[in-house]
Amino acid sequence: MDVQIWLGLSLEFYFLSMIQCTKVLFGTKVQIKEIDIDTGNVKILVGDARGEMYGMDYDPKYKYMYFTRYNHRTIMRFPYPSDNQVLEKFIDTGKGPAGLAIDSESGHVYWTEYDWHRLRRCDVNGINVVIISSNLQNPFSIRLSLVNRWMYVVERFKRIIKARFNYSEAHGIIDLNTRVDYIDLDKNEEKLYWTTYYHGEFKSASVRGCDVKTIFQTGITNYYQPIDVYGSSIFHSNNKKLFMMNTTQGTTSTALYTDAYRIFSIYVHHQAVKELILNELTSITNVTGGHYL
Ligand SMILES: *[C@@H]1O[C@H](CO)[C@@H](O)[C@H](O)[C@H]1NC(C)=O
Ligand SMILES: *[C@@H]1O[C@H](CO)[C@@H](O)[C@H](O)[C@H]1NC(C)=O
Ligand SMILES: *[C@@H]1O[C@H](CO)[C@@H](O)[C@H](O)[C@H]1NC(C)=O
């Protein structure tokens, strides 16, 4: 005699999944805005930026976004992400700060002083200001590799320098021979990127200074052209437009946003957000046995 057993099961599973949210922050001399890449929503983070901000960087440890106010000779910061963006003065630099980079592991803020040919540093609480180098030629953008502890500084008309954080070792790795304001370091790929002011070229090289290539033409010349590169995504701007290029899909840029003012800096913020997923699994198991009783 065949025996049929029917089992009804209802199980609930909770999954914690990590999803990536990409937000691009960009600063003009009037505001800092944030655009959500997935939704296209634009939010004003700082309504009163006051001045050209050539440098912007993030401290993921204390969750502050820093930016330079060149004309006002100050470095400002605000909590990010936060619903309440309280802008605070971080320090008065005395000289106009241009580029800025944060070493969150050691709790240091680095900035370049374009007219004074210096690189300075202080602690994230605004004290212990020291001069790291005072014989740079018009330094502008600065980027740090926290993994390998190398910094990259551009001398605006001359070269890209690779140096130790304390400047114990420093050497020019790329000769530019043209004006370059902005550089970026792709931490994943270990590559350097920069844009040329007069010719509108977007270029790359290895962090050793080899394999210099022109990847594309930005389509504009004689303008500030800030950049931020993350993996295959390149964010760049020409004057008032913010663009994104996905290099796995060729070299065509998509316009993300057009501002009323010239864009001076771009910072791409990647945040892993925990998402709770409730899964209800209902199954009916049909066990058929061929046993004879
Ligand atoms: C400077 O940094 C290097 C490597 O990061 C380190 O080996 C060296 O001891 C440091 N020098 C000083 C004077 O702190
Ligand atoms: C870039 O393009 C690839 C291939 O189409 C796609 O898988 C990837 O998600 C894209 N990246 C972004 C940031 O849109
Ligand atoms: C259970 O198994 C029997 C025998 O294989 C089959 O006839 C019947 O349709 C099954 N019932 C379900 C709910 O799968």
Which of 170, 145, 142 lies closest to 155, judged by CA? 142
Give 248 Cα–ligand 2 centroid separation in angstroms.
Answer: 7
Is position 119 within any domain? yes
Q: Report how far Cα 156 is from the mean position of its chain's Cα atoms.
A: 20
Pick from 91-105, 175-189, 221-235 the range whose average pLDDT is largest.
91-105
pLDDT of residue 13: 56
Is position 265 within any domain? yes
Is position 160 within any domain? yes
Three-class secondary structure of residue 250 per DSSP: coil
Handedness of CA 58, 69, 153, 191 (dihedral sign): positive
- pLDDT exceeding 90 applies to what percent of the chain? 75
Domain that holds residue 28: 20-269
Asked if pLDDT for residue 6 goes beyond 80, the answer is no
Asked if pLDDT for residue 196 goes beyond 60, the answer is yes
pLDDT of residue 275: 59
Higher pLDDT, 147 or 277: 147
Question: CA dihedral in degrees (41, 24, 231, 255; nearest 10)?
Answer: 60
- pLDDT exceeding 70 applies to what percent of the chain? 87
SS (H, E, C) 91-160: EECCCCEEEEEEECCCCEEEEEECCCCEEEEEECCCCCCEEEECCCCCEEEEEEECCCCEEEEEECCCEE
Tell me the C-alpha distance between 252 and 243, whole Å: 10
Q: Using an 8 Å Cβ cutoff, are 169 and 136 in contact?
A: no
Is position 79 within any domain? yes
Q: What is the mean pLDDT of residues 207-230?
A: 94
Is position 9 within any domain? no
Residue in 130, 168, 169 to alter for ligand 1 test, most ligand atoms within 8 A of Cβ:
168
Which of 44, 38, 47 lies closest to 25, judged by CA? 44
Q: Report the Cα–Cα distance between both ends of the chain, in Å, rounded.
A: 7
* Ligand 1 atom at shortest distance from the alpha carbon of 149: 5
Is position 288 within any domain? no
Nearest CA to ligand 2 atom 5: 249
Tell me the C-alpha distance between 43 and 25, whole Å: 9
Q: Using an 8 Å Cβ cutoff, are 116 and 72 in contact?
A: no
CATH classification at residue 148: 2.120.10.30
Is position 191 within any domain? yes
Split at pLDDT 50, 70, 90, the class of 293 is very low
Q: Which amino acid is residue 222, in one-letter code?
A: N
Three-class secondary structure of residue 158 per DSSP: coil
Give 13 Cα–ligand 3 centroid separation in angstroms.
Answer: 27
pLDDT of residue 290: 46
Q: Tens of pLDDT along 26-76? A: 999 999 999 999 999 999 999 988 889 999 999 999 999 999 999 999 999
Handedness of CA 94, 109, 113, 82 (dihedral sign): negative
Q: Tens of pLDDT along 96-144? A: 999 999 999 999 999 999 999 999 999 999 999 999 999 999 999 999 9
Is position 173 within any domain? yes
Tell me the C-alpha distance between 19 and 13, whole Å: 18
Q: What is the mean pLDDT of residues 84-98?
A: 93
Q: Tens of pLDDT along 235-290? A: 999 899 999 999 888 889 999 999 999 999 999 998 777 655 555 555 555 455 44
Per-residue tokens: 155: 């001398």
Read off φ and ψ for residue 144, nearest 5 degrees: -120, 140
Which of 27, 23, 83, 13 lies closest to 272, judged by CA? 23
Number of domains in the chain: 1
pLDDT of residue 271: 79
Pick from 3-17, 37-51, 199-213, 247-261 the range whose average pLDDT is largest.
199-213
Nearest CA to ligand 3 atom 3: 288
